[in-house]
Structure 1
């Protein structure tokens, strides 16, 4: 058995602003509640509410019911050959995947990223779930006590989305 020394490739130095949370970030939040962070986003031209921010999800999810309400067609889906395991441990039927422009917040503090959504057939109380891929791409930092999501917009500006 041998262990080899490996070096990690250097990442480009990216300047991001300091992201902090303050007392003013509490906006009518009841500290006794333990609600999930639920926000709104703009996907392509659609304003989507009831979007669950799920830091534990390894994928970004678009339920088929929301897909239909957006009047998208099955032809626009790309095949997806992976498996998705639901909360109960069972496999979830994946209809396909789709890349869509997703905008967080509204101008002038908006940030747009491309997100690959898995379109699934599974009962879901949320219209969409944002998981680790989109949250990492966005550079999001979430504070669950304040129910707020913050993300860098530029080297000096921070976008803020409060839970609905």
Structure 2
């Protein structure tokens, strides 16, 4: 995460005073000037606290002091299916991540010119029914089996596999590794994780496909989806999802690959989610 790219991030005004009288042995990357170092920059810390209060880093500051005020559970800004991210699950690891955010202000890394980045256009809209506000649901290969009803959700910080799908794949609970990672829903109620399992996931089609190992958190909850692909994996693939175009695109060695969304299946999932019995209407993968 590079906070200098955030539209709410504000760079400071130039330092006042005689430049010749400043401590030239210390340099602040935030002010881009000498006199003090970045880690001890009061202005930068104030800006970070401001962004935290705006909810930019709320999921990393649960129960911690922020600008002299303690955040309680009601002030959390957990994402849907929020859970552990690259920060880890301990308080110290999350505090370290916030400190890292404060130290990365600088020039963004340059992207290789040879890297092909996804673009979207009118051809991607062919076959879609409008108006629409459907989520992106794709059919990747999980393990060795194509699975329909996999939700691409960049609001989720973890990859989730629902327990009934896990069982239908031929696995059992003894194959899960223990996981104490907390996962929260919209109502901030913690969802119990049965365990975790690593499975290969392939999206796209040859010769423009991508395969990665996903660490799925298995949960026992009713859902119209088989699995949820969170933003951690989306970022790892350098993928760009577009719900408007109903497609997930990602760079490969052979050009830009894509996983098209299934609009019909998306709406079936939506109707199933509204069923009074809340079973999700699961059928075969």
State if a TM-score over 0.5 links the two structures: yes
Residue 8 and residue 114 in structure 1: after superposition, are their counterparts in 2 closer, same or farther (change >3 A)? farther
Residue 78 and residue 12 in structure 1: after superposition, are their counterparts in 2 closer, same or farther (change >3 A)? farther
Alignment of 1:11-26 (within 5 A): 14=112, 15-26=114-125
Q: What's 2:41 paired with?
A: 3
Structure 2 CA distance, aligned partners of 1:134 and 1:76? 22
- Where 2:167 maps in the other structure, the secondary structure is helix
CA contact (8 A) 1:37 1:148 kept: yes
Structure 1 CA distance, aligned partners of 2:111 and 2:126? 34
CA contact (8 A) 1:93 1:122 kept: no
Shift, 1:22, TM fit: 1.2
CA contact (8 A) 2:205 2:257 kept: no
Could you tell me which runs of 5 or more consecutive residues in structure 2 were left unpaired when the two chains were aligned.
1-38, 43-101, 263-285
Structure 2 CA distance, aligned partners of 1:109 and 1:7? 33
RMSD: 2.3
- Where 1:68 maps in the other structure, the secondary structure is helix
Shift, 1:7, TM fit: 5.7
Give the TM-score, by structure 2 length: 0.53
Flag the structure with higher strand content. Answer: 1
Q: What's 1:122 paired with?
A: 221
User: Of the candidates 155, 160, 163, which is equivalent to residue 258 of structure 2?
Assistant: 160
The structure with the larger Rg is 2
CA contact (8 A) 1:95 1:118 kept: yes
Residue 7 and residue 67 in structure 1: after superposition, are their counterparts in 2 closer, same or farther (change >3 A)? closer
Structure 2 CA distance, aligned partners of 1:31 and 1:17? 29
Structure 2 CA distance, aligned partners of 1:47 and 1:8? 42
Runs of 4+ that moved beyond 3 A: 4-15
- Where 1:82 maps in the other structure, the secondary structure is coil
Count of residue pairs brought into register by the alignment: 163
Structure 1 CA distance, aligned partners of 2:235 and 2:40? 34
Alignment of 1:63-82 (within 5 A): 63-82=162-181
CA contact (8 A) 1:77 1:97 kept: yes
Instruction: Report Cα offsets for 1:34-65 as digits up to 9, x if no partner.
Output: 11100000011111100001010010000001
- Where 1:17 maps in the other structure, the secondary structure is coil
Structure 2 CA distance, aligned partners of 1:27 and 1:68? 36
Could you tell me which runs of 5 or more consecutive residues in structure 1 were left unpaired when the two chains were aligned.
none
Instruction: Report Cα offsets for 1:101-142 as digits up to 9, x if no partner.
Output: 100022222110111110001111101100011111111101
Structure 1 CA distance, aligned partners of 2:40 and 2:250? 42
Give the TM-score, by structure 1 length: 0.90
Structure 2 CA distance, aligned partners of 1:19 and 1:78? 36
Residue 19 and residue 64 in structure 1: after superposition, are their counterparts in 2 closer, same or farther (change >3 A)? same
